[in-house]
Amino acid sequence: MKIDTNLQIDSPLDHPEAIRIKDCVNTVLNGDAFGAMIISDGGLGKTRGIRQMLENWGTEGKEWIHIQSNVTDTRLYASLFEHNDKLIFFDDLGDAAKTKAGITVLKQATETIDGTNRFVSWNSPSTMLSNTPPRFEFKGRIIFCLNQLSDENDPDIFALKTRFRSCTFSPSNKTILEMTLPIYKKLGNDMGITDEKCKMIFDHLCEITTEDSFNVNIRLLSTALSFYKCHQQRWKRYLAEDIGRGREDLIIIDIVNNLKLRGEPAHDMWRKRTNKSKSSFHIRLKKLREMYAI
């Protein structure tokens, strides 16, 4: 896979395809919205990028706070009370966004009753909230990330999305590699790996990655660096095992390794399952062998 290594990117969110994430966050930082909701897979560098924006905007602990752990709906309510005059960044709101109570709290925190004030309330008894009032005014703002919404057709979920500046981000593998390259370089330097070796490892990762591959993210890049540092004779094999294989790769691996077919029987099975030619089988098979994946 060929990527553009000349992009002027200091943060993953500087990538042109990630501009909507930055714009959603900036509407909150500028005070033009009460909340922003970012929906995408993990490991893309969103947290780092948003933190950089927040650090340039204000002082952590004074104007804003970062809550990193997955929070429940009761913890969400308590957090809004404890920091009701701050901008709160939840980088994993997972569980709280899956319950009616959590969704209601988020809606209340971003909805004005009289055009000016926002009040958040919790009416059900809960020992987890024994030290918080049943109702309070929230003057802060919220930015949160999710891997996915529980049901986007649910009326409450739809109402939630309309109250937040939202972005659903599903980048291609090419974009992921481009936007995470600055983080990769820093990781390599922190591990004591030379720029030349970092480039060699990254070029190999780009070579074996296709748009059908999955598990392509900053964690895979970190894994590639650590495997190279500790296992220089076997790192390519380990990386090939860890990177998700696309459908056609899996079919070839099944034909060769599991069914143990060779020659015409293998070609016939390939044509039957993919409707592709004998030559395409051998091109893909050669590539897989070069990647130590078969």
pLDDT tens digits, the chain, 294 residues: what are they?
888 888 888 899 999 999 999 999 999 999 999 999 999 988 899 999 999 999 999 999 999 999 988 889 999 999 999 999 999 999 988 788 888 899 999 999 999 887 789 999 998 878 888 889 999 999 999 999 988 776 667 777 788 888 899 999 999 999 999 999 989 999 999 999 999 999 999 999 998 888 877 778 998 999 999 999 998 888 888 887 777 666 788 788 889 888 889 999 999 999 999 899 999 999 888 877 876 556
Task: Give the list of residues 6+ apart from residue 115 with CB closer than 8 angstroms, or none.
Answer: none
Q: Are residues 142 and 215 in the same domain?
A: no
Q: Which of 225, 221, 210, 220 is nearest to 287 (CA)?
A: 210
Helices (H) and strands (E) in the chain, counts: 12, 7
Which residues have CB under 8 Å from 240's CB, separation 6+?
208, 291, 292, 293
How far is the CA of 217 from the CAs of 3, 10, 91, 205, 249, in angstroms?
15, 17, 17, 11, 19
- 4 within some domain: no
Residue with tokens 């094999």: 237
Q: Is residue 190 part of a domain?
A: yes
Q: In sequence order, which residues have a C-beta less than 8 Å from that of residue 82 and are 6 or more positions away? A: none
* Both tokens assigned to 219: 């964690």
Q: What is the pLDDT of residue 292?
A: 58
Strand order in the sheet with 87-90: 64-67, 87-90, 141-146, 35-40, 165-169
Domain boundary at 127, 150, 169, which?
A: 169
115 shares a domain with 33: yes
The structure tokens listed for 199 are 């480039």
Q: Tell which residue, 3, 48, 36, has the closest CA to residue 219.
A: 48
State the Cα–Cα distance between residues 123 and 108, nearest whole angstrom.
13
Residue 6 falls inside a structural domain: no
Give pLDDT, residue 244.
67
CATH number at residue 91: 3.40.50.300
In this structure, the number of other CB atoms found within 10 A of the CB of residue 212 comes to: 13
Residue indicated by tokens 């024994």? 130
CA–CA dist 204, 206 (Å, integer): 5
The residue count of the chain comes to: 294
| Residues 218, 137 within the same domain | no
Residue 270, φ and ψ in degrees, nearest 5? -60, -45
For residue 92, what pLDDT is reported? 85
Q: Are strands 119-121 and 87-90 parallel, antiparallel or unpaired?
A: unpaired
Give residue 124's domain range: 12-169
Residues linked to residue 114 through DSSP beta bridges, in sequence order: none
127: exposed, middle or buried (Cβ count in 10 Å: 0-12, 13-18, 19+):
exposed
Task: Give domain status of residue 247, yes or no.
Answer: yes
Read off the amino acid at residue 79: S
Given a contact cutoff of 8 angstroms between Cβ atoms, the answer to whether 285 and 256 are in contact is yes
Are 85 and 201 within one domain?
Answer: no
Query: What pLDDT, on a 0 to 100 scale, did the predictor assign at position 289?
Result: 80
Residue 2 lies in a domain: no
Total domains, the chain: 2
